[in-house]
């Protein structure tokens, strides 16, 4: 009996509950443009020597409805996730997935080149690669 | 050796087992799901961004449905992560299925990081109208 109950992975549920609580009480933004962890899409940001790499985890979106803009060093990802047709009928047991319009802004580092942006949408992940300006790349200076 | 694994399996300490499995594999993310039911069965949508078909594992065992997937994202070499909202790109979630559902006819479809599972009811478990005859 207990095996049956716990097979629904109780720990995962506890984990989910904890995340919900922490997002309610401790989700104080650290920056004026930062937002809580539960926002959509979730974003990872990293950089290499030649580029700034951003990954937005945005599954199930028509790429035509995704809009990506760079304005004054601010990268904005916006779009809409529409309801699936067949969801309107029948009984609903869970509705956890994000629905509706979204918008996220990321402040780019000063050395990012807004003219050199590449974006791809693969498997529900939007990968954005922004080149860095030539002048900002690390280089060694020859000593004479 | 053989008897030992048998004993461990019979042990109802599923939470402990789960904990062990998690310790081995590291933390996982519980994917967000939508679950709807109609007369034909249950449809489940799960958000699994970055998970490709070959890294997704959906299986039914002992009346439970397991969804496991690992995201893989192409990143250039030498990437330094500055900010991460998704740290462990491993998804796992389990649901218990009642006997009403025909687990041999589950249809799974992965598109743009969204998994759609159609779990049909067994023929005999479908709702049907019973004619009332006036006698």
What is the domain extent for residue A18? 1-29
How far is residue A58's CA from residue B47's CA, in Å, rounded to a whole number?
A: 9
B36: closest chain A residue by CA: A92
Pair A14, A65 in one domain: no
SS3 A83: coil
Output the CA–CA distances (angstroms, integers) from residue A132 to A57, A106, A108, B17, B92, in the order listed.
23, 16, 10, 48, 37
User: Do the domain assignments include residue A73?
Assistant: yes
Pair A63, A14 in one domain: no
User: Do the domain assignments include residue A17?
Assistant: yes
The tally of domains found in chain A comes to: 2
> CB distance from B99 to chain A under 8 Å?
no
Pair A99, A74 in one domain: yes
Task: Name which residue leads in pLDDT, B96 or B6.
Answer: B96
How far is residue A125's CA from residue A43's CA, in Å, rounded to a whole number?
A: 10
User: Do the domain assignments include residue A34?
Assistant: no
Size of interface A-B (CB pairs under 8 A): 159
Interface test with B, best of A57, A63, A86, A99 (most B CBs within 10 A): A57
Identify whether the C-beta of residue A107 lies closer than 8 Å to the C-beta of residue A33: yes
How far is residue A63's CA from residue B33's CA, in Å, rounded to a whole number?
A: 21
Residue B83's pLDDT band, with cuts at 50, 70 and 90, is confident
pLDDT in tens, B90-105: 899 999 988 888 888 8
What is the per-residue pLDDT for A91?
84
Pair A17, A60 in one domain: no
**Distance (Å) from the C-alpha of residue A70 to the closest C-alpha of chain B?**
19
pLDDT in tens, B30-61: 898 989 988 888 999 999 999 999 999 999 98
CA dihedral B74, A67, A62, A48 (to 10 degrees): 0
In this predicted complex, what is the ipTM? 0.71
A51-57/A125-132 β-pairing: antiparallel
Residues facing residue A56 across a β-bridge: A43, A126
Pair A14, A62 in one domain: no
> Which of chain A's residues have a Cβ under 8 Å away from the Cβ of B33?
94, 96-97
Pair A60, A78 in one domain: yes
What is the per-residue pLDDT for B16?
40
The closest of B84, B75, B80, B73 to A138, measured between CA atoms, is B80
How far is residue B88's CA from residue B66's CA, in Å, rounded to a whole number?
A: 18
- Burial (CB < 10 A; 0-12, 13-18, 19+), residue A96, is middle
- Give the residue carrying structure tokens 């078909």: B53
DSSP codes of every residue in A8-67: TTHHHHHHHHHHHHHHHHS---SSTT---TT-SSEEEEEE-SSEEEEEEE--S--GGG-E
Pair A25, A43 in one domain: no
How far is residue B102's CA from residue B124's CA, in Å, rounded to a whole number?
A: 10
Please name each of the domains of chain B with its CATH number.
42-75+83-125 (2.60.40.790)
Pair A44, A103 in one domain: yes
User: Do the domain assignments include residue A89?
Assistant: no
Ordered per-residue pLDDT tens for chain A, 144 residues: 344 444 445 666 666 676 666 655 544 444 444 444 457 888 889 988 888 999 999 999 988 889 999 988 899 999 998 887 766 677 888 888 888 888 999 888 888 888 889 999 999 999 999 998 877 667 788 888
Pair A67, A21 in one domain: no
The CATH number of the domain holding residue A126 is 2.60.40.790
Interface test with A, best of B38, B113, B126 (most A CBs within 10 A): B113
Closest partner residue to A11 (CB to CB) among B18, B79, B114 is: B18
Interface test with A, best of B32, B44, B67, B110 (most A CBs within 10 A): B32
What is the per-residue pLDDT for B78?
83
pTM: 0.71
Residue B128's pLDDT band, with cuts at 50, 70 and 90, is confident
Output the CA–CA distances (angstroms, integers) from residue A66 to A12, A26, B54, B60, B68, in the order listed.
31, 30, 26, 35, 27
């Amino acid at each position: 009996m207990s095996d049956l109950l716990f097979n629904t992975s109780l720990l995962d549920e506890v984990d989910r509950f904890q995340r919900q609580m922490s997002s309610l009480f401790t989700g104080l933004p650290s920056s004026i443009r930062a937002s809580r962890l539960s926002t959509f899409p979730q974003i990872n940001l990293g950089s290499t020597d030649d580029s700034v790499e951003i990954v937005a985890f945005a599954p199930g979106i028509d790429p035509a409805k995704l809009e990506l803009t760079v304005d004054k060093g601010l990268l904005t990802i916006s779009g809409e996730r529409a309801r699936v047709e067949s969801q309107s009928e029948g009984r609903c047991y869970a509705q956890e997935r994000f629905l509706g319009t979204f918008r996220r802004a990321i402040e780019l580092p000063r050395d990012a080149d807004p003219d050199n942006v590449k974006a791809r949408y693969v498997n529900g992940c939007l990968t954005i690669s922004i080149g860095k300006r030539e002048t900002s790349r690390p280089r060694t200076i020859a000593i004479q | 050796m053989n008897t030992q694994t048998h004993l461990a399996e019979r042990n109802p300490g599923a939470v402990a087992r789960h904990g062990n499995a998690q310790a081995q594999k590291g933390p996982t993310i519980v994917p967000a799901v939508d679950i709807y039911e109609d007369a034909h069965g249950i449809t489940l949508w799960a958000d699994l961004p970055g998970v490709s078909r070959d890294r997704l594992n959906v299986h039914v065992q002992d009346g439970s449905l397991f969804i496991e997937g690992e995201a893989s994202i192409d990143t250039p070499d030498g990437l330094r992560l500055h900010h991460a909202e998704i740290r462990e790109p491993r998804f796992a979630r389990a649901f218990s299925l009642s006997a009403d559902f025909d687990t041999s006819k589950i249809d799974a479809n992965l598109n743009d990081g969204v998994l759609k599972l159609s779990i049909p009811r067994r023929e005999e478990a479908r709702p049907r109208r019973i004619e009332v005859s006036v006698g």
